[in-house]
Structures are given as structure tokens and as C-alpha cells.
Amino acid sequence: MQKEGLNMVEVKGVSKVFNAGRPNEMTALEDVSFAVGEGELVILKGPSGSGKSTLLSLIAALQKPTRGEVVVANEPVSRFSEDFAALYRRRKIGFVFQKFNLIPSLSVYENIITPLLPEKLDEEALKERAQRVMETFAIAHKANEPARNLSGGEQQRTAIARALVNDPPIILADEPTANLDADLSHAFLSYVGQMKEEGKTVIIATHDPLFFDLAITDREIALRNGKMEGA
């Protein structure tokens, strides 16, 4: 089913201007173009403020580009309506946020099933899906623990499990190791290897040198002041 050379994510001449026409106008991205093939691992690097997070949010259709378009699996996701974009995120995207963004008062299990709640799934199906990812990421023993009580490593694994619970083809991670010590950062790296083995398309935005020049990386894209370096 994996077609050779199929582009999973295409970013075509994308610019993003915040507060256009106002004194605080800010061009976060300028004419960015690249494509990511299915099952590829891409590292999006660049200093803080270079536009990495903005780019990820455009790919996730959390906001719309000022110019250009984003095409995912041949769908113009940057032109989707709110509801379509939500559906697209739910079915196609697993997001690992910087700081993980778990809901602190919910348990590990409740956090993990959150992306599935709008779907028509019964209790059984929810449990089954959660169990699978909780076991993969060794967090099942904490299923009923509120997220606020978790250690950094446990939060990380819960966040990854949540991103993968709906079995999305694309994983986006934003500074996933920014708040982790060296051991946990290495652990994350091994999870990335696991995702790639499962055939996921993975895009990681980071300025952590740990991710630079990895053997499993298919491509590195460097951003500076919203522009692609060497473009």
C-alpha cells in the first residue's frame, strides 16, 4: 500500500504574517516549501523564534497560512473549514506538545482517550485502544493516576500514548525533549524509532542537538527568521 515517492505532507510557498498591517506586524514564516514522504522522519530545526511551532500548527491546520497552502495526503488541509480541520487532526495527526499539555486533573487513561471521545466508540473499544498504547509506552500501571502526579518521564509517555491512540499516520512533535533530562531525551529518541518502524510519518521541531544528524532521519530542514536555510 505504500506507494514509492508518495508525498504525505506538502508545504507549498507558505507564509504566515501575524498582525498584518499593524505596528506589531510579524512575519513568522516566509515562502516555505518542502515535502515529506510517507514514513519519513524529518527534523525541523532552528533557533527559538524561527517559526518552527508556527509551521507545525499550519500542518496541523490549527491556523491558516497567509499565503501558500498545505496539502496532506493530497487534501488541501489549509483550506479546510474548522470542522473538517478538526476531523483531519483527529484522524490523521498525533501531536506531542512542548510541555506535553496533559490535562492535569484527568487520569492517565482519561488523558489518553480524550482524542477518541468525539467518535462513536463504546467503553470497550476505548479501553482496548488505550490499553494497547499504554502497554507500548509502559504507562498502563499508572492508568488511574491523575496526570498532575506523574514524573517527567511518565508525562512524556502519556503524551506520546495520547498522540498515538487514534493510530494516526502523521506524528508532529514540538520540542519534545525541551523539559526532559538526558536519559528521558534518549528514551524519546527510541520511541521515535518505534514510530518510524510502524510506518508513521514523523516531523519533529526542535533545537535540541540530540536530534541532529541522526541515522534514522530522512531529512533536516533548518529555519531561520521564518525562512528555510539554503533555499
Ligand X SMILES: Nc1ncnc2c1ncn2[C@@H]1O[C@H](COP(=O)(O)OP(=O)(O)O)[C@@H](O)[C@H]1O
Rule CB under 8 A: is residue 79 a binding residue for other proteins? no
Of the ranges 51-59, 112-120, 158-166, 209-217, which one interacts with ligand X (CB under 6 A)? Answer: 51-59
Q: Which position among 8, 29, 93, 164 is part of the footprint of other proteins (CB under 8 A)?
A: 93
**Angle formed by the axes of helices 152-164 and 182-197, nearest 10°:** 20
Nearer to other proteins by Cβ, of 48 and 190: the residue is 48
Kindly state the smallest distance separating residue 223's Cβ from other proteins, in Å. Answer: 15
Q: Quick one: which of 9, 53, 134, 206 contacts ligand X (CB under 6 A)?
A: 53
d(CA 129, CA 121) in angstroms, rounded, equals 10
CB of 176 to Mg ion, least distance (A): 11
Q: Which stretch binds ligand X (CB under 6 A): 49-57, 105-113, 155-163, 191-199?
A: 49-57
What would the DSSP string read from start to end of 143-187? TTSBGGG--HHHHHHHHHHHHHTT--SEEEEESTTTT--HHHHHH
Q: Which does 46 bind (CB under 5 to 8 A by kind): ligand X, Mg ion, other proteins, none?
A: ligand X
166 is a site residue for other proteins (CB under 8 A): yes
Which of 73, 87, 143, 214 touches other proteins by CB under 8 A? 87
Three-class DSSP category at 137: coil
Tell me if residue 197 falls in helix, strand or coil.
Answer: helix
Residue 16 identity (one-letter amino acid): K
Please select the residue that binds other proteins; options are 71, 116, 214, 222, rule is CB under 8 A.
Answer: 116
Expressed in percent and rounded to 5, the helix, strand and coil fractions of the chain are 35, 25, 40
Phi and psi, residue 42, nearest 5°: -120, 130
Backbone angles phi, psi at 9, to 5 degrees: -125, 125
Return phi, psi of residue 14, to 5°.
-85, 130
Contact between 95 and other proteins (CB under 8 A)?
A: yes
The listed partner (ligand X, Mg ion, other proteins, none) that binds 110, CB under 5 to 8 Å by sort, is other proteins
Check if the beta carbon of residue 61 is closer than 8 Å to that of residue 70.
Answer: yes
Q: Is 17 in the site for other proteins (CB under 8 A)?
A: no
List the interface residues with other proteins, window 56-75 (CB under 8 A): 56-57, 60, 62-63
Q: Which has the closest alpha carbon to 204: 221, 190, 187, 181?
A: 221
CB of 158 to other proteins, least distance (A): 13
> From the list Mg ion, other proteins, ligand X, none, which binds 28 (C-beta under 5 to 8 Å, kind-based)?
ligand X
Contact residues: ligand X, CB under 6 A: 18-19, 26, 28, 46, 48-54
